[in-house]
Amino acid sequence: MRQLHRKDLWSWSVFDQARNLDFNSLAWIRADGNVLVDPLPISDHDLRHLEELGGAAWIVVTNSDHTRAAAELSLRFGAKLAGPAGERGQLPFACARWLSEGDELVPGLAAIELHGSKTPGELALVLEDTTLITGDLVRGQALGKLNLLPDAKLADRAAALASVRRLAALGQVEAVLVGDGWPIAHGGHALLRALVAELD
């Protein structure tokens, strides 16, 4: 796996040819049990790496289009699954937790419910106030810049913009780890505000 901006955060990716960007998965390594977000199929090498780091206690899926290898890795690690409360019934597996606005999955990892994206209950996650983790709505097609899911994919553009405005109001965000595209290590808050300004 590739090391992110914190020593306890790692990612692995699959390049998507249709969009010319990486799809990303996240592993947060913690003493009380690792958390994976939107895990993709994983190479043998990265699987061994993840096993050496303790496997996974929780797997969070930010939206029903990001189930990817979640079920398979849940079985392998005995990890519990968590998904968006707004998409209960749309996931191909049962979750131990259905996350709504403000819910903490584990201490320090809080859910934000987004609206108007391509699925009804998409979650963003905030890790210790400073790292924002997004699924589909906010992405990084070009290095060092954030962009929005294309209009054609949005269920409700005005609602989606209101959700992005909420993310841009999180004043302590430094890093933005996007599900699709290039992650951001620094200046996340300013880049979210720039995204809002561009869309308004």
C-beta of 1 vs 70, nearer to its own copies: 1
Q: Does 5 bind its own copies (CB under 8 A)?
A: yes
Query: What is the Cα–Cα distance from 154 to 115, expressed in whole angstroms?
Result: 9
Terminal CA-CA length for the chain: 37
Min dist. Cβ of residue 17 to its own copies (A) = 5
Q: Which of 24, 99, 183, 195 lies at the binding interface for its own copies (CB under 8 A)?
A: 183
Q: Which of 8, 33, 49, 153 lies at the binding interface for its own copies (CB under 8 A)?
A: 49
Query: What is the Cα–Cα distance from 62 to 37, expressed in whole angstroms?
Result: 7
Helix (H, G, I), strand (E, B) or coil at 58: strand
Residues numbered 93-152 forming contacts with its own copies, rule: CB under 8 A:
141-145
The two beta strands, 147-148 and 104-106, are unpaired
* CB-count exposure of residue 171 (10 Å: 0-12, 13-18, 19+): exposed
Nearest C-alpha neighbor of 102 from the set 166, 18, 9? 166
Question: What is the helix (H) or strand (E) element at residue 51, kind and residue range?
Answer: helix 44-52
Q: Does 52 bind its own copies (CB under 8 A)?
A: no
Q: Which of 156, 172, 186, 198 lies at the binding interface for its own copies (CB under 8 A)?
A: 186
Please give the structure tokens belonging to residue 117.
């994206």
Min dist. Cβ of residue 162 to its own copies (A) = 27
Is the C-alpha dihedral spanning 130, 46, 22, 182 positive or negative?
positive
Q: How many residues does the chain have?
A: 200
Min dist. Cβ of residue 9 to its own copies (A) = 8
Min dist. Cβ of residue 5 to its own copies (A) = 5
Min dist. Cβ of residue 185 to its own copies (A) = 2
Q: Does 22 bind its own copies (CB under 8 A)?
A: yes
Q: Does 7 bind its own copies (CB under 8 A)?
A: yes
C-beta of 120 vs 187, nearer to its own copies: 187
Amino acid at 166: R
Q: How many CB atoms lie within 10 A of CB 13?
A: 17
Q: Does 15 bind its own copies (CB under 8 A)?
A: yes
Q: Which of 50, 81, 123, 175 lies at the binding interface for its own copies (CB under 8 A)?
A: 175
Residues lying near its own copies in the complex (CB under 8 A) are found at 1-5, 7, 15, 17, 20-22, 43, 45, 49, 141-145, 175, 182-187
